[in-house]
Amino acid sequence: MGNDNTDVKTGFIEGTQVLNDDAKSGFFKRIRDFLGKPSAKYSVITIGIVFFIGGILFLDGFGTLVQRTNTLEFCISCHEMKDTVYQEYKETIHYNNRTGVRVTCPDCHVPKEWTGKMKRKLEASKDVWGAITGYIDTPEKFEQHRMEMATREWARMKASGSSTCRSCHSFEGMDARKQKPSAQKNHLAAQKEGKTCIDCHKGIAHLLPKEYEEEV
């Protein structure tokens, strides 16, 4: 009896395998037959063209969206930014200077490389959410959280080695002869100690938090 049951099970499994193989063969045969038709070839080409054009339009639209969110106008479109840090920034050399080179929000706060830029965009959603929920919707609330926000931004810049700062400023490009003695000394020490811009230059575009002044 045991052998009979084994033979039945084996035959069932083998029969199932044969049916599966036949089904697979039939499926691929139908695909080959379809692709062999002249009309099918044109259909495949049409689908390929549609996907190609659609991909281009998607990438173009996505790139335009990213570029649009990477402007000063977008950054200050909420009053939380426009009425606070933007007004502070307008009083600095990064806004008005003798050479007429204006540095905007993305130049300092958004990395240039694609991966870093996308990561920063995702992180910025927290700032947008803070504006929507009223977390920093008044000057008083903004000042209450200024140290928290500044600390987070300083840490982000520190982690990247002040990469956004160094896209304009570099030790190699500095002419020490045109610097004040104190600046020459500090820049030389910073180079030796492996420091980057944000280690020494906090509060150059925005006011320092009151708590930071207490810690100094």
- Average pLDDT for 54-81: 85
Give the start-to-end residue ranges of the domains of the chain: 2-68, 78-215
Question: What Rg value do the Cα atoms of the chain yield, rounded?
Answer: 31
Q: Where does the pLDDT of residue 31 fall: very low under 50, low under 70, confident under 90, or very high at 90 and above?
A: low
**Each residue's pLDDT tens digit, 115-129:** 888 888 888 887 778
Measured distance CA(216)–CA(113) in Å, rounded: 34
Can you give the pTM of this predicted structure?
0.69
The reported pLDDT for the residue numbered 152 is 92
The reported pLDDT for the residue numbered 42 is 62
